[in-house]
Amino acid sequence: MDLKQMRYFLAVAEEQNFGRAAQRLHMAQPPLTRHIHALEEELGAELFVRTSKGAELTDAGRTLLAEVPNILALTRRAAEQTQLAGRGLLGRLDVGIFTSGVLHAIPKLLATFHAQRPGIKIGLHNLSKAEQIEALRERRITIGFNRLVPPEDDIVVETVQKEPYLVALHETHPLSKREVVRLRDLDGEPMILYPNAALFGLAQEVANAFTEEKLTLVVEQEVEDVVTALGLAASGFGACITTASAANLTLPGLVYRPLHSRQLRHIELNCLYRKDDRAPVLLAFLDVVRAFSATQ
């Protein structure tokens, strides 16, 4: 029993007349009659009793009539849902994020996308840079956000925004009285670095800057995330070089000052995705990302 036969059966059942059903279906009556006979033979049951006025449903026909409208409705819904998914209006977007990335740009991007396409379910996954790259290759996420992403042959990396560097200090730190902190002002000062990770990141970028400017880097603590780093800075453990978006995290006693450095000028927030991925949901989200990037 195929969908065409179901539609033919439904028309005859509702019209209770083969001639009127044929007119409704924009076809001749003999082919319609043949299709109904074929359906009856396939099911092994008579569906209609022919009368002088038209056609009446048998018990078997009434049983089928109870199911056919639901089947056709489900079929229409499946087709509509498929079409919406094909246009990037339905489906799922799995996004790799990292701690400091959720303090500014990423929530704005997700909120804009959700407002435009509420039918898309957004899944968030807090992953390190290496984990995001692995998750992309294994198709566990669709897109990731991170900084200082290494080049990969199968991964596209796009710039979302550039942020200046800041220095986070306890309000009693002598350098907190300055409007701008230079990198050489941090020579020999206890520093808190993050993230403590295998791939090159902000901690290594800071260490390289100290080396390039021939300064002494004193590492007081190395931690995995920005929240811990800023918490330690707020407790007076030392200074922490961070990004402008991190200043959205306010803690008692913590102040932020612009950093002046030849090496540390701006840091990029990047999005990364599979080079061969042409999924409509991804392309729609990239439109949002690029529109946001153009305003920065």
Top-level class of domain 3-86? mainly alpha
Output b/e per residue, 118-132; b: 16+ Cβ within 10 A: eebebeeeebbbebb
Structure confidence at residue 81 (pLDDT): 72
Mean pLDDT of 164-189: 97
Q: From CA 294, how far away is CA 160, in angstroms rounded?
A: 9
Q: From CA 106, how far away is CA 97, in angstroms rounded?
A: 8
pLDDT at 132 exceeding the cut of 90: yes
pLDDT at 270 exceeding the cut of 80: yes
DSSP state letter for 235: T
Mean pLDDT of 98-102: 81
Distance (Å) of CA 99 to CA 78, 111, 146, 225, 226: 38, 17, 10, 6, 7
Structure confidence at residue 103 (pLDDT): 84
Residues 220-260: tens digit of each pLDDT: 999 989 999 999 999 999 999 999 999 999 999 999 999 99
Structure confidence at residue 83 (pLDDT): 77
pLDDT at 17 exceeding the cut of 90: yes
H or E element in which residue 293 lies: helix 280-295
Structure confidence at residue 80 (pLDDT): 76
Structure confidence at residue 214 (pLDDT): 96
Domain covering 91-159+269-295 in this structure, CATH number:
3.40.190.10
Q: Place 89 in a pLDDT band, splitting at 50, 70 and 90.
A: confident
Cβ-based neighbour number of residue 92 at 10 Å? 11
Q: Place 72 in a pLDDT band, splitting at 50, 70 and 90.
A: confident
Question: Do 3-86 and 161-267 share a fold?
Answer: no
Nearest Cα neighbor of 261 from 185, 176, 151 is: 185
Chosen CATH of 161-267 out of 3.40.190.10, 3.30.365.10, 3.20.20.370, 3.40.1000.10: 3.40.190.10
- Mean pLDDT of all residues belonging to the chain: 93
* Domain map (residue ranges) of the chain: 3-86, 91-159+269-295, 161-267
E strands present in the chain? 48-50, 55-57, 91-97, 120-126, 143-146, 155-170, 181-182, 190-193, 218-222, 240-243, 254-260, 266-274
Mean pLDDT of 83-96: 82
